[in-house]
Structure 1
């Protein structure tokens, strides 16, 4: 009765234990049990009967769908993220446009529809196409959807997807979340390159409170302490004026 079951986006895996530890210290005897995975696939599992008290997604669309279906009591945005490139150090001196335009470089992404990271990446390609005709559409054709899908090889639990793909020789560049920057930059075998602001896609994260017992955790995720933890881990502040940011 005191356990809150959470389905959470895989990109929260590194920061979530810190959040849960702070929450449990504030709210004994409540405990949190969490299953991580691509948010789109987790939503499917929930809709097929997986038990869930709180669903934490890397986008707003999946929680909002649960609300519309009558499977959630409320939805709130609690943090946000951005995209960047993870690559090998010798490539870092080149511009993002030069890197992504090079047909000799293998570009890896997450899987659209199954994982919001893939959806955001395809939005990025559309934005690039608007500014650099043929480049964005070319990226859609070249991109290797190597993680985040139902049939994708699982990323080892102690690995960051981009680093793992590069280390195992599956890609030269990975387009993923900037919240992994601290972890990536700790390893000199990899480098990180930010995208131009005019390309940038803002990834808002939202949770759906599916059962009333999750209300203490929902309130905590919006608290100054949780926001402090998220920002220290590389996530961005909640966007002011967002209709779901309480």
Structure 2
């Protein structure tokens, strides 16, 4: 189930606010003309629909805005959710132009659906950590602590990328966790820890970094060996040329720098 969607480009939102303010000052006849003109301007925009893993929300919001600045007349519509949910939507025909998955098995499901028009390209990797409230009030130090009866732990469900990484860590550490819930995306896990509904949760290091004012991260031994590799691919949507340009942009120097700043490990 989608957790965060932003289908309206940043520049388009700004245009909408400015148009609304101007409309209040125009008489009826001029307002009608303005509306018609606005519709024509909107239809002239090229749109690229990007379906991306929710853990990329911060980085891709910045990258989409930068891409729009470099390509006047192009709007990047972002749809963030769990990778597994997005893969299902794409396989069922959702109008996506670019897909970014949080692990390779999820990407392969989209490739197998026949929607990909190129080979997936490696984008970045991300490791799990234990997210706890700032100051670590429950004294969590290791995966073994997550089995404590006095600790409410949440993880991702095994069918989603962060869940598969969590299971791999369990096996490597020889610890069977006892979570109070299993969530459909890492954003759900993060939300429960941030809201106090859970005492600890397995999330990506980038998630803790994005909320360092309220969360601490407890490093996990062997997390690097279970890191998820993010990949990106262009799809058979209506904007294949622009999708290829966007893919090249996010995997190029600007994209890698933004991802690195957000805490991802990048190739090269």
Q: What residue is the counterpart of 2:198 in the other structure?
A: 171
Deviation of 1:198 after TM superposition, in Å, equals 6.4
- State whether residues 5 and 51 of structure 1, in contact with CA within 8 Å, keep that contact through their aligned partners in structure 2: yes
Q: Which runs of 4+ in 1 moved over 4 A?
A: 91-94, 160-163
Q: Which of 232, 235, 241 is residue 207 of structure 1 equivalent to?
A: 232
Q: Which of 103, 113, 135 is residue 149 of structure 2 equivalent to?
A: 103
In 2, Cα distance between equivalents of 1:198 and 1:86: 14
Q: Can you list the C-alpha shifts for 1:25-63, whole angstroms capped at 9, x where unaligned?
A: 222222211111111111111111211110111112222
In 1, Cα distance between equivalents of 2:105 and 2:74: 28
Deviation of 1:78 after TM superposition, in Å, equals 0.7
Task: Return 5+ residue gaps in structure 2 as ranges.
Answer: 1-44
Q: What residue is the counterpart of 2:110 in the other structure?
A: 66
Q: Which of 120, 136, 149 is residue 165 of structure 2 equivalent to?
A: 120
Deviation of 1:236 after TM superposition, in Å, equals 0.9
Q: How does 1:223-238 map to 2 (within 5 A)?
A: 223-238=252-267
In 1, Cα distance between equivalents of 2:213 and 2:108: 36
Q: What residue is the counterpart of 1:244 in the other structure?
A: none
Q: Which has the higher contact order (CA 8 A, sep 6+)?
A: 1
For residues 168 and 49 of structure 1, do their structure 2 counterparts lie closer, same or farther at Cα, with a shift above 3 Å needed? same
Q: 3-state SS of the aligned residue for 2:226?
A: coil
- State whether residues 92 and 193 of structure 1, in contact with CA within 8 Å, keep that contact through their aligned partners in structure 2: no
Task: Answer 1 or 2: which has greater helix percent.
Answer: 2
Q: Which of 40, 52, 63 is residue 19 of structure 1 equivalent to?
A: 63
In 2, Cα distance between equivalents of 1:119 and 1:200: 13
- State whether residues 92 and 191 of structure 1, in contact with CA within 8 Å, keep that contact through their aligned partners in structure 2: no
Q: Which of 121, 126, 138 is residue 81 of structure 1 equivalent to?
A: 126
Q: What residue is the counterpart of 2:97 in the other structure?
A: 53
- TM-score, scaled to structure 2: 0.74
Q: What residue is the counterpart of 1:193 in the other structure?
A: 218
Q: Can you list the C-alpha shifts for 1:100-125, whole angstroms capped at 9, x where unaligned?
A: 24232121012221x21112111211
C-alpha RMSD of matched pairs (Å): 2.2
Task: Return 5+ residue gaps in structure 1 as ranges.
Answer: 130-134, 150-154, 241-246
Segment drifting more, 2-11 vs 167-176: 167-176
In 1, Cα distance between equivalents of 2:225 and 2:200: 17
- State whether residues 87 and 174 of structure 1, in contact with CA within 8 Å, keep that contact through their aligned partners in structure 2: yes
In 1, Cα distance between equivalents of 2:224 and 2:53: 24
Aligned residues: 218
- State whether residues 10 and 36 of structure 1, in contact with CA within 8 Å, keep that contact through their aligned partners in structure 2: yes
Question: Larger Cα Rg: Structure 1 or Structure 2?
Answer: 2
